Every structure is written in C-alpha cells, then in structure tokens.
Amino acid sequence: MVKIGIVGGTGYTGVELLRLLASHERAEVAAITSRAESGRRVDELFPNLRGHYDLAFSEPEVGELASCDVVFFATPHNVAMNMVPELLAAGTRVIDLSADYRLRDAALWSRWYGEPHASPECLADAVYGLPEVNREAIAGARLVACPGCYPTAVQLGLIPLLERQLVDPQQLIASAASGVSGAGRQAKIDNLVSEASDSFKAYGVTGHRHLPEIEQGLADVAGQQVSVTFVPHLLPMIRGIHATLFANLQGDPGELQALFESRYASEPFVDVLPAGVYPQTRTVRGANRCQISVAVPQGRGTVVVMSTIDNLVKGASGQAVQNMNIMLGLPETMGLQQVGLLP
C-alpha cells in the first residue's frame, strides 16, 4: 500500500481527496492535518466518510508527514512552500493543489500573490501536473504542481489548436464560469446562498490569478508567447466549470472535429463529444472527466470550444490522484472511474 498524507483536510479539495482515495486500491491515508480541527475525528466533521476512515485530524508535523510516500497539500497558497523543501529532503513525494509551484517565475508569482515566494529554489524541480501534456515528466517528478480548475478547463480546450498553430495566439478569449465551491470552504458574504442564488456575475475581470498560469501553459504548447483575455464568472451552483473559448482561425484548419478526436483519443479523462453535441456541467459532476465540443459558427473564422469539468475533481483532487498514479507507476485510472452524477 502507498502511505498517504494530506495537509489541509477540512477544505473542499481535502475532503474530495478523502472521498476518492477511499476507493483507491493501493492508497492508505495515514495522516490528515488541520490546525483548527486537531484531535477531531474525520468522520465527525464529514459523516459521508463514516466506515471508510478511522482517523483524526492532527497538527501538520513534518516528521509525521515525511514518513509518508506521497503528501498532498490541499491548502491555500503560501502553506506548501514553507514545508515542501523539508519533505523533499526527506525523500517524500509531494503533490501541491495550491498555486505555490504552478508558476516557474518567482517574481511573477510574487506579483500576483502579493508576497515573496518562500522556496523559489524548488520551482525548477516542480512539474506542472497536466497529464495530457506532461505525463512523461510527471512520472519522474518528486514535486508536482497540480493545475488550477480554470486553467485545466481552458488549456484542454485550446491545446489541440495551438499545437497545430491553427489560431492566432495573441487573440485568445476564455469566458468561464464556476460553481461557488471554487472559492473554497470559508465564510464569505458573496458565497452565501442568498447572495449567489438566482444570479450570475463576472469577477476578476481586470486580472485573475489563474491568468498567468493559463498563459504559461498555453505558451509552452504554442512554442511562443500567447495573450489570453480571461473573464471568470460565478455560477449559482456548487460544483462545475463551463469554459467557452474563442480564437481566430488562421489558414485552412481542416476538420476540427477530427483533430480534437485524434488529439484526445488515448486520454482516459478527456471526452470529445460528437459534432453538434455540447457539454454540460451536470454530466461531469463527481467524475474526473473533461468533456469538450468544438464548432465554427456560421463558418466565419472564429472557432468556439466548450469545455466542462467538475472543479473539485478534474479541476483539483481527481487530477491530483491521477498525477499520483502516474508518479507511482500505477494504472492512471485507478480510483478514478466514477461515473458523472445524474440528475
């Protein structure tokens, strides 16, 4: 069995990790930390896990965590970067679900997150954990930076076009909407039912922290700098992301449906829908799956890609488990074969 530690077990991504790992054939969660809930049983806080775990939350101690084979950080930014160097030195593999190691440029990270990076020496060793692009590097990684939810949906939708240089990389538009769980499990007025229900709004229009991550990943694929206009929105629901992506075609793009189907034919967690069928957030709810559709409305030279994921699964904890499987040489789909929840 693979001995697992989870730092930050009381947030949505932490409990989602517990849910997914409960059905993983090779994973044994040995430690789960929370300063606020230390000593409290996990199944007391999360009754859905009764019968699956006999664990209590503990203080995050490097010594205990270093005894694990893999440690997940399901924490806000600036937590992992203070503990990861010691864990790596102890030989523990780390998968960070926060933003601490997603950007390779420490100065750029500091500009977007408003503080110095605590372990910039680790940035060069961090592998960006988007399996559909970096599978080989992930397999040999000691530190994996799990992509953000919006960046996952946006990149998977645009990658086939940029790889073939079929669109203008300077004129990319991503209009994406997320359920309220994307903001985390914390008290915020904007996330109250009476505030978010029966409403739809944009936020972070002039600058969202996921933008540099999106542009970095797409630039790697395109082989040149890209420019993305990214506008996130808040949906009045709990889970799910729907990204509608726009790009200007250049040259003769050929059959885009066939391009997308071919690009993702061997990817277990990307589903290209038939032409004319458009993805919905409800069909990927609870599943580690991205569903994609592509169209060129009225043949006017603008390609539209629609991409949906569950922000807590393929957008976070499911992708993290997928990365773990790759790192450990396990079947990539192990513990991740849940079917989307309907209705």
Residues serving a catalytic function are 149
- For residue 215, give the nearest of 79, 105, 100 by alpha carbon: 105
Among 9, 46, 52, CA closest to 27:
52
3-state secondary structure of 48: helix
Q: What does the alpha-carbon distance between residue 50 and residue 46 come to, in Å, rounded to a whole number?
A: 8
The token pair that represents 320 in the structure block: 């993290």
**Element holding 43 (H helix, E strand):** helix 42-45
Query: What's the rounded Cα separation, in Å, for the pair 173 and 191?
Result: 26
Is the N-terminal amide bond of 343 cis, ω within 30° of 0? yes
58 three-state secondary structure? strand
**Residues 334, 24 contacting (CB under 8 angstroms):** yes
Is the C-alpha dihedral spanning 318, 324, 327, 331 positive or negative? negative
Closest Cα to residue 244, out of 196, 198, 279, 286?
279
Residue 306 and residue 289: Cα distance in Å, rounded?
A: 14
Q: Closest Cα to residue 315, out of 83, 74, 127?
A: 74
Mark out the alpha helices in 90-148 (DSSP H runs): 106-113, 131-139
Instruction: Select from 325, 336, 335, 331 the least CA-distant residue to 69.
Output: 325
* Per-state percent for the chain, helix, strand, coil, to nearest 5: 35, 20, 45
Q: How far is CA 312 from the centre of its chain?
A: 8
Q: How far apart are CA 63 and CA 282, in angstroms?
A: 41
